[in-house]
Amino acid sequence: MRLLLLSNSTNTGMGYLEHARDTLGAFLGPAVRSVLFIPYAAVRFTYDDYAARVRAVFEPMGYTLTSIHEVPNPQRAIAEADALAVGGGNTFQLVHHLYNVDVMDAIRARVAAGAPYIGWSAGSNVACPTLCTTNDMPIIEPPSFQSLGLVPFQINPHYLDAHPDGHMGETREERLQEFLALNPGTFVVGLREGTLLRLDGGVLELAGPRPMRVLKQGRPPREYEPGANLQFLLHAPPVS
């Protein structure tokens, strides 16, 4: 499988996906001519608006972009796609519509057959076994929390270490530790802003300006810099 899983779509002071455009082009390469976009995580804007925003990124790089909501047969579009891109937004909304349109299995099959998969934020969440490490509110109830399971570990996009002064609630890490208490064999990757995970040729690597934080029940959290060996994450048992 070929996966590019981004923490976020926009860095401070930069345009949409601007921080990742060179990486996107290098990942897709010249063999890919078109990208099928999945905008189902959108909540406060239309699919048309979302597709236009993403199209403005991919088409100047030479890739035709079609949104799945524009096609009459979503399963067929996925089966014929050169590459798939799944945008961010609300993860519960995204998973709900992936089930509602009945494309979970089609995406898994297409990616297993070699089509590159790009996801950012919620699109990275759904590459995991479940959506349970999202930061999003459950604004809609999907049929299941089970996601695509393209990787066996969980991702927490937009990972933050901060604990604001005067805030008496749980930190992000404490919330993720709650998940791990109920799923003790699972690894959770805290993916900070501007960073991404790339899986290509069976090799998993971190790219970007910051390290990532890996949490697992029963051991202290560990930091991994870009270039570190991350293969252990590919052999971890998924959420049961």
- Residues annotated as part of the active site: 121, 136, 158
Task: Report yes or no: 39 and 65 within 8 Å, Cβ to Cβ.
Answer: no
Q: Which residues does 54 contact at the CB level (< 8 Å), separation at least 6?
A: 16, 17, 37, 39, 65, 67, 85, 87
Strand, helix or coil for residue 70: helix
| Strands of 64-67's sheet in order across | 64-67, 34-38, 84-86, 117-120, 3-6, 196-200, 203-207
Whole-number Å distance between alpha carbons of 175 and 136: 12
3-state secondary structure of 118: strand
Under DSSP, is residue 4 helix (H, G, I), strand (E, B) or coil? strand
Instruction: Count the Cβ atoms, other than its own, within 10 Å of residue 55.
Output: 17
